Amino acid sequence: MTDRPAAQDGLKAELLAVALEAAHRAGELLRDGRPDDLGVAATKSSAVDVVTEMDIASEKLITDFFADRRPDDGVLGEEGASFEGSSGIQWVVDPIDGTVNYLYGRPDWAVSIAARAGGETLVGVVHAPVRGETFRAVLGRGAYVNDRPARVRAAPPFDQALIGTGFGYVAQRRAHQAEVARELLPRVRDIRRGGSAAIDLCDVAAGRLDAYYERGLNPWDFAAGDLVAREAGARTGGRPGETLSTELTVAGPPGLFEQLQTFLDERGAWHD
């Protein structure tokens, strides 16, 4: 008779090892191989949302690594490297989360890799090479920053909360997001805009932000960071009663999470 818990633990350990190695290899390529004349290979949602040459190179490195180590797995990748597998495992990959930061030589960018099965994320890795940090989480096993346990801050009063957010690149969406932020700003300690959703979610996990929200994220933006945040004690979701999604992503400690989620829902932060 198969020991299912032991087999599941073994699978998670294998997936974590693969994710960590892939993320570090891609991070090394991106950090050390960034050309001085970095070009734009295409555009994403608008003319100011860029896809760099290195974005594409990073995703190819990661998917080639998966093909060698776990050839039967599927992949959902930001830059189009998406295919079904036969193993039941799907890798969700953002080869550079924070592309504009990377393009401008700013430090807040990361390689984000998650492994999920049956709609549940089992492993998440967010590797931020310039910051010298790797965030990792395994479902049911906690979250870590490098080798240190990560834990969210206890919920402060709403008016003392430091809130992270991000903005889309389409003008109509940005205008409404700015209006929501304008209403939120006088009610909290302050707002931060880092430029990488994966890092922002991990910064909630590490207690560097009290909470975070954003509209317009895709699964590759939040899959790994969401698990890291939850395993560090955060609650995550979208609109009240819903999971986090492209409409809205919210993360924070119990108590603050619900207040922020309600505030955002009442002000229509989930639509343009």
Please state the residue numbers annotated as binding site: 78, 94, 96-97, 221
Known binding-site positions for Mg(2+): 78, 94, 96-97, 221
What span, in angstroms and rounded, lies between the C-alpha atoms of 241 and 237? 8
Helix/strand/coil percentages in the chain, nearest 5: 40, 25, 35
Q: E strand or H helix at 177, and its extent? A: helix 171-184
Cβ–Cβ contacts within 10 Å for residue 148, how many? 10
Q: Are 212 and 163 in contact (CB under 8 A)?
A: yes
- Residue 117 in 3-state DSSP? strand
Q: List, in sequence order, every residue forming a beta bridge with 250; answer none if it has no partner.
A: 213, 237
Tokens matching residue 31? 């950090």
- State phi, psi for 58 to the nearest 5 degrees: -65, -45
